[in-house]
């Protein structure tokens, strides 16, 4: 989901009635659970391939660039 999609989703949430708001809330929670599961699987694969340390170092470098 890009930034524009995010803004549109949140605007739709603002305008929605109670039932639609609840549906949107559950949808967002389902997506969170899905992505947490995907990240856990990716982490396990990285460990199996002995890439977890390298990926961790790369993330730290990216964070330094952003900060």
pLDDT at res. 30: 96
Predicted TM-score of the model (pTM)? 0.66
Residue 9 near residue 1, CB atoms below 8 Å? yes
Residue (of 41, 39, 43, 38) closest to 55 by Cα position: 43
Above 90 in pLDDT, residue 52? no
């Amino acid at each position: 989901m890009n930034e524009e999609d995010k803004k549109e989703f949140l605007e739709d949430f603002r305008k929605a009635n109670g039932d639609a708001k609840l549906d949107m809330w559950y949808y967002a929670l389902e997506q969170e659970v899905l992505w947490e599961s995907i990240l856990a699987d990716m982490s396990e694969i990285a460990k199996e391939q002995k890439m977890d340390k390298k990926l961790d170092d790369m993330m730290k470098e990216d964070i330094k660039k952003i900060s």
